Amino acid sequence: MRIGKIIVEQSKESRIYSDVIEEMNLKPPVIIKPNWGTINNYTEAEVIDGVLSAIDGESLIVESYGWARTKEALSGKGMGSQHKEDHRKSDRWFLETSGIGAVLEKHGVEYLNVTEEVWAKRTVEPDTINKLVKFQPVQVEEMCSQVPIRLYDMRGGTFLSLAKYRLNHEPIVVSLSLKNLFGMIPGPGRSRFHGKNDIRLDQSIVDINKIYRSLFNVKGMVDAVYTASIGLVREEAIKPQIKKNEGLLLGSEDCVRLDAFVAALEGKNPEEIGYLKLAAKHFGDWDEAELDEARRSGIRIF
């Protein structure tokens, strides 16, 4: 089903991925950014398998280290060690136990870790990136020094933000395709990009989108096929409330309109979501007719 620029499919069948992707005009190479921010609700192996099976042409999976993608976070014991080698061990553990590593091997798809590229200094000169940014200024200038050369060499292709259907505490409210690019900032710690009391968060989210929108054709998908999550308070970030098997997948070539649409599905007002409102000023506004259709659709996960 298409509502304006938004593709909405609700099904328990595996064709759900091809039904959405065939309408999104993905030009290879396709850089896929899943959401592996927390071990308690992440883009599952089955979803990645479905997406990769539906894409024709070269693909690459990109992610960075996260503070809650660990055994400790899974058992509710905190974040785990912050040492580099322990993050590497946790990443290997995650890829193996989640089944994602096997899916990547099945499709012959490379996984690039942004954090490792930054640690190894395999990044593009910041002046080069800054000159290419179409949406000036990038206020958080540090981000211009964190673009891996491997991704820069693929510029001109498609960047697919494969986001989870996730509701969050204030001020994020909804964590969807725009917020998913926040994970392109090389973690695990990103507190300085939040700022005290999250004062820098809206700008940081928009700035990282400015950079990757200047290098790629950025498109979005929001996945609630097997799981979606809600964490209304910060304490639920590690142990969120989970809704299962909704079979819902949304996509659009316009991430602002997509995220505003999903927000409207959940009874949220995009005008009251700081980073979404700021993104609309730079990248184009959402469509009120689409939001009205969202509210009338009867689709609501939470």
Q: What is the pLDDT of residues 16-29, one digit of tens each?
A: 999 999 999 999 99
pLDDT value at position 94? 93
* Mean pLDDT of the residues in the chain: 93
Counting residues of the chain whose pLDDT is more than 70, the rounded percentage is 95
Would you state the pLDDT for residue 61? 98
Structural domain for 244, as ranges: 2-296
Domain total for the chain?
1
CB-CB contact of 94 with 34 (8 Å):
no
Q: Is residue 301 part of a domain?
A: no
**How would DSSP label each residue in 150-195?**
HHHTTTTSEEEEEEE-EE-STTT-EE-HHHHGGGGS--S--HHHH-
Q: How confident is the model at residue 149 (pLDDT cuts 50, 70, 90)?
A: very high
User: CA 11 to CA 8: how far, in whole Å?
Assistant: 10
Give the three-class secondary structure for 224.
strand
**302 within some domain:** no
Residue 77 in this model has a pLDDT that exceeds 70: no
Across 95-123, b (16+ Cβ under 10 Å) vs e yields beebebbebbeebebebbbbbbbbeeeeb
- On whether residue 203 sits in a domain, the answer given is yes
Highest mean pLDDT pick, 70-74, 168-172, 265-269: 265-269
Tell me how far apart the alpha carbons of residues 239 and 67 are, in angstroms, rounded to a whole number. Answer: 14
